[in-house]
């Protein structure tokens, strides 16, 4: 079938490829309709690897997707041919200790789309477990459904933060994950959510589309402590670190009130300095996240209810046949864009 294939570092083609696999009794076959380009896709394209995951052979890209069911296995219930769906892209080993403990996202044997050597979903059809396939309400578009995957990270972060009504929050990083984490925090009950970054185009985007929910802090002009002090705050209840920038950790404890929580989302490229005593002096707590677990239905409900308006996040679209150009553009890391979407035939 035709697919978008990362042949090797720096080379993507749209071509026919033989993909193995038969439809199991608890699987569905899906025709992808919309697929978002993730930062990991771009990283594999530019670098050929992420840590120990190396592109050693051609790999189909894409893991943020929605589509239409075109075939169901004999034991599938609750889903039918013609249903509009989105898909959770990580398939765990259901017998693993991590999965049995309810942390299937941590299963070391998880088969995650577009993570070497597992093929992704930028192709004409994919086979996927029915229990990781979620029906979209009529008022949720294919594009919104494809955004469920990155939004799941934000919603899971808000869940781990144990947000209470009226909490205040500070998010470091105005990339896609930072924005969806900030929106999830606001939707979950935070009264004020600040988003701090050095990239003015990203902050301008937030001001244009989400000024009623989020307040930006331009780190090239001011320090968050000054903004919080001017607002009459001793600190925030929650800090979400979504930038991966080591510098944030130098003062991260200063931004929190006593008893505050920090949720670590971004992944620094190297070990970071951390002031344990400062944390102890305020009895701060830390939550970390790795992808997400059991939140896709929650994400879909939040989009369908209007609590999460994610339509503005899609800033550029390409056709399936123009996927090479889409990845070439994404690889330039344009600061004015948030999510680039590929529309499948």
41: which residues sit within 8 A by CB, 6+ positions away?
61, 62, 63, 114, 120, 327, 330
Question: Is residue 188's pLDDT more than 80?
Answer: yes
- The per-residue pLDDT for 209 is 97
Stretch 16-43: mean pLDDT: 94
Residue 255 near residue 225, CB atoms below 8 Å? yes
CA dihedral 295, 197, 255, 167 (to 10 degrees): -40
pLDDT of residue 345: 80
Beta carbons of 65 and 34 less than 8 angstroms apart = yes
Averaged pLDDT for residues 273-283: 95
Q: Is the pLDDT of residue 277 over 80?
A: yes
**pLDDT computed for residue 269 by the predictor:** 85
Distance CA 329, CA 339 (A): 12
Summarised one tens digit per residue, pLDDT across range 84-121 is 999 999 999 999 999 999 999 999 999 999 999 999 99
Among the listed residues 175, 167, 152, the one whose alpha carbon sits nearest the alpha carbon of residue 256: 167
The tens digit of pLDDT for each residue in 208-218 reads: 999 999 999 99
Note the pLDDT of residue 21: 79
Tell me the whole-structure pTM to 2 decimals: 0.95
Confidence band for 70, pLDDT divided at 50, 70 and 90: very high
H or E, element range at 134: strand 133-135
Structure tokens at 298: 């929650």
Is residue 290 over pLDDT 90?
yes
- pLDDT value at 20 more than 80: no
Residues 6+ apart with CB under 8 A from 217: 170, 194, 195, 196, 197, 224, 227
Domains of the chain, residue spans? 2-147+310-343, 154-288
Q: Cα separation of 135 and 175, whole Å?
A: 27
Determine the longest span between alpha carbons in the chain, in angstroms.
Answer: 62
Superfamily per CATH, domain 154-288: NAD(P)-binding Rossmann-like Domain (3.40.50.720)
Count of other CB atoms within 10 angstroms of residue 170 = 29
User: Which helix (DSSP H) or strand (DSSP E) does residue 182 occupy?
Assistant: helix 176-187
Average pLDDT over residues 256-282: 95
pLDDT cut 70: percent of the chain above it: 100
Q: What pLDDT is recorded for position 51?
A: 86
pLDDT per position as a tens digit, 144-187: 999 999 999 999 999 999 999 999 999 999 999 999 999 999 99
Q: What is the mean pLDDT of the chain?
A: 96
Write the class of the CATH domain 2-147+310-343: alpha beta
């Amino acid at each position: 079938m035709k697919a978008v294939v990362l042949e090797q570092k720096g080379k993507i083609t749209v071509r026919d490829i033989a993909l193995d696999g038969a439809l199991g009794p608890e699987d569905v076959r899906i025709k992808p309709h919309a697929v978002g380009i993730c930062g990991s896709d771009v990283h594999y394209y530019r670098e050929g690897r992420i840590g120990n995951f190396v592109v050693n052979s051609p790999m189909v890209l894409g893991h943020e997707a929605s589509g239409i069911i075109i075939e169901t296995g004999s034991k599938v219930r609750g889903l039918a041919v013609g249903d509009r769906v989105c898909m959770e892209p990580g398939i765990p080993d259901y017998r693993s200790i991590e999965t049995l403990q309810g942390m299937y996202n941590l299963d070391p044997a998880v088969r995650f789309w577009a993570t070497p050597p597992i093929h992704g979903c930028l192709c004409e059809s994919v086979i996927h477990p029915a229990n990781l396939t979620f029906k979209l309400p009529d008022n949720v578009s294919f594009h919104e459904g494809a955004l469920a995957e990155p939004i799941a990270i934000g919603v899971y972060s808000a869940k781990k933060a144990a947000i209470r009504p009226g909490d205040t929050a500070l998010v470091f990083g105005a990339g896609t994950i930072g924005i969806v984490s900030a929106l999830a925090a606001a939707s979950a009950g935070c009264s004020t959510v600040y988003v701090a970054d050095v990239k003015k185009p990203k902050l301008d985007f937030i001001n244009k589309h989400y000024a009623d929910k989020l307040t930006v802090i331009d780190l090239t002009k001011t320090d968050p402590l000054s903004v919080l002090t001017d607002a009459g705050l001793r600190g925030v209840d929650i800090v979400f670190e979504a930038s991966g920038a080591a510098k944030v950790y130098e003062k991260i404890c200063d931004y929190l009130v006593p008893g505050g929580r920090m949720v670590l989302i971004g992944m620094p490229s190297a070990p970071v300095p951390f002031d344990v005593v400062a944390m102890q002096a305020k009895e701060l707590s830390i939550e970390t996240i790795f992808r997400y677990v059991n939140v896709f239905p929650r994400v879909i409900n939040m989009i369908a209810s209007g609590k999460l308006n994610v339509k503005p996040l899609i800033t550029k679209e390409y056709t399936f046949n123009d996927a090479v150009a889409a990845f070439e553009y994404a690889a330039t890391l344009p600061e004015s864009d948030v999510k680039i979407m590929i529309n499948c035939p």
